[in-house]
Amino acid sequence: MGIQGLLPLLKSIMLPIHIKELEGSFVAVDTYSWLHKGALSCSTQLCKGSPTSRHIEYCMHRVNLLRHYGVKPILVFDGGLLPMKIEQENKRARCQLCSPILCILCLRFTEILVVFQIFLSTIASLGVTRKENLARALDHESNGNSTAAYECYQKAVDISPSIALQLIQENVSYVVAPYEADAQMTFLAISKQVDAVITEDSDLIPFGCHRIIFKMDKYGQGVEFQRSRLQQNKDISFAGFTNEMLLEMCIFSGCDYLQSLPGMGLKRAHALITKFKSYDKVIKHLRYSIVSIPPLYEESFKKAILTFRHQRVYDPITEDIVHLSDMPGNLGNDLDFLGPYPSNRICIARGDLDPFTQMAFQLQGETVSSVPVLNVTPKFKNSKPESGKKKLDLPVQKNLLTKYFCFASLEAKRNFRAPRSSPTSPSLVDCTSLSPQDNGSEEASSSNTSSSSASLVVSTDDRNTPHSNNVESCFPDGVHKFMESPSPGKD
DNA sequence: GGTTAGGCGACCC
DNA sequence: TCGCCTAACC
């Protein structure tokens, strides 16, 4: 949803850019928007469950377009639902790689019932909408109205976890966020792990991302937002605006975490913040002047600020869940609205395709044909210790699937590490122990051409050869090669 | 003058 | 699903 009307207001400082200007840079990509656009080209097949890879090819075309121009993409996926957004998500379905059940598991018992009811109603409402569109599509089709049928198929298509998984199984660097991709991409940007973010979502601006490419087309042309240009904006003036003021203005105008007060849009929010400088003074002013403000509004506002600033994200370098920015010490204990810390959870770093496939399919209600036995390693530093590596059989694993929470591909981590010349991380070795037969070192496993390390092999190519000579030559082989590679469960 | 809600086309080929 | 446009409303 983002901040409605923000991008048009910033039109004067949105400058055209071609991604070749980012040569040599890492960029984080909001993968959901690509998947959604790509799925439009084959929505009929996706709805019917017919085999198709056009949506994946669409994404890979863009991945390879970036690579062609020497840009290194890191695909970022949404993870679990942020408790704060469950109600919002009730209204729209985004690609969730991790089950909303995750959230339920994270919450205290008193909250479980409520959340679960919302979750069930979400599923119910989504089911109805898709079913309706699907039914309409079939209806139109039987009447010979293929155009109308196609439109309905496009509305019925959903970016399921298994679709996202298909993309992960390509030769791409990726990070699955513990919660929101927006926060994750911002973290990668402000920690200098990427140089820019490619997205369609204006939320990246209040999140504090410094360089964002919007509306990137298939030729690599887009428009660029740079925070440093904010002072030059023409439509409304941001002279003297701090990051906090910009954020508070966006929250006042209505955002994913807090609905705006009636009649409050961007322009009014801007005027109020310009005059009063901070949200608490604005709210005080509003209380004295006009409307009655809901009793919990100020409290919710504070939470919204904290969610933008400190939402939990995954740091591929430390392999831990961290806050987007450092937390002040005086915030109390109940910070689960920032995304519960995955205590006692397991993060796996690679060899992750099998359990992830399981999870994705499980969410889709599909039957899992082969169930590999896996070693898993506790990953999060602050997690309650689990007794080292465990072998899991099916029933146990079934429960643990909800714990495969967030992870990055190994090559993404390497990329992130490279510029920092950090010392060797012992945990990096740990995370290679996931394939049962794979007890070698990281380097040994990276030369392994099994399906689970497919992404590694090609990504290594990508690093060694800067980019191929033309766009066309660099994707079809890759796509088909990996589409035809052995199934992840095989090993 | 600004916000809001609803309609419409683009996204994709 | 999104942004853009318009009309209705405050």
Each residue of A475-484: pLDDT tens digit?
A: 222 222 222 2
Is-contact A39 A47, C-beta < 8 A? Answer: no
The per-residue pLDDT for range A276-315, each reduced to its tens digit, is 999 999 998 888 876 678 888 898 899 899 999 999 888 8
Percentage of residues in chain A having pLDDT higher than 70:
58
Which residue lies nearest B11, CA-to-C1' measured?
A: A37
Residue A199 has what pLDDT?
A: 92
Mean pLDDT of the A84-92 span: 54
pLDDT average, residue stretch A366-382: 33
Distance from C-alpha of A440 to C-alpha of A288, rounded to nearest angstrom: 68
The pLDDT, as a whole number, for residue A50 is 86
Among the listed ranges A302-316, A342-356, A402-416, A436-450, which one has the minimum average pLDDT value?
A436-450
**Chain B nucleotides reached by a protein CB under 7 Å:** 1-4, 11-13
Distance from residue A313 (CA) to nucleotide C10 (C1'), in Å? 42
State yes or no: pLDDT of A465 exceeds 50.
Answer: no
Per-residue model confidence as pLDDT tens digits over A50-69:
888 899 999 999 999 999 99
The CATH architecture of the domain made up of A6-41+52-81+160-484 is: 3-Layer(aba) Sandwich (3.40)
- Amino acid of residue A361: F
Query: A120-156: string of b/e by CB count within 10 Å (b at 16+)?
Result: eebeeebeeebeebbebbbebbeeeeeeebebbbbbb
Query: Which residues neighbour strand C (beta carbon < 7 Å)?
Result: A 1-2, 4, 7-8, 36, 92-94, 155, 200-202, 263
pLDDT value, residue A249: 92
Percent of chain A topping pLDDT 90: 22
Q: What is the pLDDT of residues A417-443, one digit of tens each?
A: 433 333 322 222 222 222 223 333 333
- What pLDDT sits at residue A163? 80
What pLDDT score does A173 carry?
Answer: 84
Nearest residue to B1 via alpha carbon and C1' = A267
CA distances from A367 to A54, A98, A373, A432 (A): 24, 18, 17, 27
pLDDT at A378: 34
Nucleotides of C under 7 A from a protein CB: 1-4, 10
Domain borders along chain A are: 6-41+52-81+160-484
* DSSP string for residues in A337-402: GG----TT-B---SS-HHHHHHHHHHHHTPPP-----EEE----TTSPP--S-EEE-HHHHHHHGG
pLDDT reading at A35 higher than 80: yes
Note whether A79 and A98 are within 8 A (CB).
yes
